[in-house]
Structure 1
Amino acid sequence: MITCRTATQCGKADFGWLKARYTFSFGHYFDPKLMGYAALRVLNQEVLAPGAALQPRSYPRVDVLNLILQGEAEYRDSLGNHLRAQAGEALMLATRQDVTYTEQNVSADQPLTRMQLWLDACPERVSNALQHLALRSTPCQLIASPDGAEGSLQLRQQAWVHQLDLQAGERHTLTINGPRAYLQSIHGRVQAHNAAGDEQQLLSCGDGAFIYQEQSLTIVADSPMRALLIDLPT
């Protein structure tokens, strides 16, 4: 089953210095039917104004994955760790509840646009506090996984995050490890087809889709497109 959730259905915020779109309940946006999906707690796209910063905050036990779409960000924690990431890169925080974290747009004249995911972290797993990865313009790149396979960021959860980067007319089929996954369009128009070929959804920029009880998913690009497939077997 493939169920679309369009960008217009998502929660929104505009504080001037921060503009955001929320897939699931977050901050002032609350929907009791949308508190996350399996281990995926948060999926936001946010734009920080030049020079804007998020004040120090703590997190529940989650891995925070940031994909930088525009600009450059700096991340710091209260233990003294810090790292910068710019457009075309991904960064992950393996958060701890006794540590606070800050984020800043380091540019004085360019907005910072990024996509942020929170994934529940298993208590018995450990990984590096800050991890960094360059995103490639390839049809499919594994960017986060439980064991850091293929040079990906290492999650503290049985989940896999793939980035798809296709030109118009190209297609790619991915195997899904468990009963649930989530497809998020970043830009472009994309068709999502199930394995049986009897169901499909068309996603435009910012749309998402819940994937349930499908063994594989075929992505067909109607235009140059970029998307994430978040594989959530647990």
Structure 2
Amino acid sequence: MLETHLSDQRGTADHGWLKAKHSFSFANYYNPRHMGFGPLRVINDDRIAPSMGFGTHGHENMEIITYVMSGELSHRDSMGNQEKIPAGEVQKMSAGRGVRHSEFNSSDSSEVHLLQIWIEPNVQGIAPEYEQFTLDDLPLTEGWRVIAAPNGKWHDAKGAMRLYQDAALLCARATEASSELQYVLDGQRAAYIHVATGSASVNGMTLHAGDAVKVWDESLIKVELHADAQVLLFDLPRH
């Protein structure tokens, strides 16, 4: 079964310096039909104005993934990390028993466009962790980059970022993959597929940037990447 969650069905927020679209209920946006999907709790599509950003704030017991699509984000946290995250790189922070961080647009002239993703962990109170990679350095399997997975391993692919949940995040980009990909979904699993940029077809259904589809009871997912497509696939436990 496939159920679409289209871009114009997302919540929106406009704070001037921040324009955001929320796939799931977040902050002042509440929709009881879209509270998350399994342990996937947040996908925020954020555009941050030049030289602006989020001041220091805290998180606990959450897996937080930042996927930068354009521009560059500056990150600083209470673990001592002070990094820049340009387009083409991805960061994972396991907040564990508590971490504080700030995020700012590094540019004084261009906006930064990113996805911030929250996944609920299956363990509580761990020591906070930080990882950051270029997408090209993450393992590739059957055309899919494995961004994060339990113990950094998904099937035969090793070297992804460690995720404290029985879930995996993979991506496919039109720039490096065949235009047609497949993904085999275990019968006890579900998938959430989000088109970050460009457009793509999922089992014959055309999706555009910001669109997503929930998948369950489908053993084979066929994805056709169109120009400039970046597609994120979350392999999740059934809920």
TM-score (norm 2): 0.88
Which deviates the most, 177-186 or 14-23? 177-186
Shift of the alpha carbon at 1:169? 8.0
Shift of the alpha carbon at 1:87? 0.7
Q: Paired residue for 1:64?
A: 64
> CA deviation digits over 1:120-146, x for unaligned, max 9?
112268576210111139742111111
Q: 1:158 aligned to 2:166?
A: yes
**Residue segments in structure 2 that go unaligned for 5+ positions in a row:** none
TM-score (norm 1): 0.89
Which letter does structure 2 place at the counterpart of 1:142?
V
Aligned pair count reads: 228
Shift of the alpha carbon at 1:212? 1.5
Alignment CA distance shift 1:183-1:233 (3 Å):
same
Alignment CA distance shift 1:211-1:204 (3 Å):
same
- The Cα RMSD (Å) is 2.2
Which letter does structure 2 place at the counterpart of 1:81?
N
For residue 147 of structure 2, the aligned residue among 143, 146, 149 is: 143
The answer (yes or no) to whether the contact 1:57–1:101 under 8 Å persists in 2 is yes
Q: How does 1:69-88 map to 2 (within 5 A)?
A: 69-88=69-88
The answer (yes or no) to whether the contact 1:169–1:222 under 8 Å persists in 2 is no
Which letter does structure 2 place at the counterpart of 1:175?
V
The answer (yes or no) to whether the contact 1:57–1:100 under 8 Å persists in 2 is yes
Which letter does structure 1 place at the counterpart of 2:46?
E
Q: 1:176 aligned to 2:185?
A: yes
Q: Paired residue for 1:188?
A: 198
Which deviates the most, 1-10 or 119-128? 119-128
**Residue segments in structure 1 that go unaligned for 5+ positions in a row:** 194-199
The answer (yes or no) to whether the contact 1:7–1:206 under 8 Å persists in 2 is yes
Shift of the alpha carbon at 1:180? 1.2
The answer (yes or no) to whether the contact 2:199–2:227 under 8 Å persists in 1 is yes
Q: Paired residue for 1:48?
A: 48
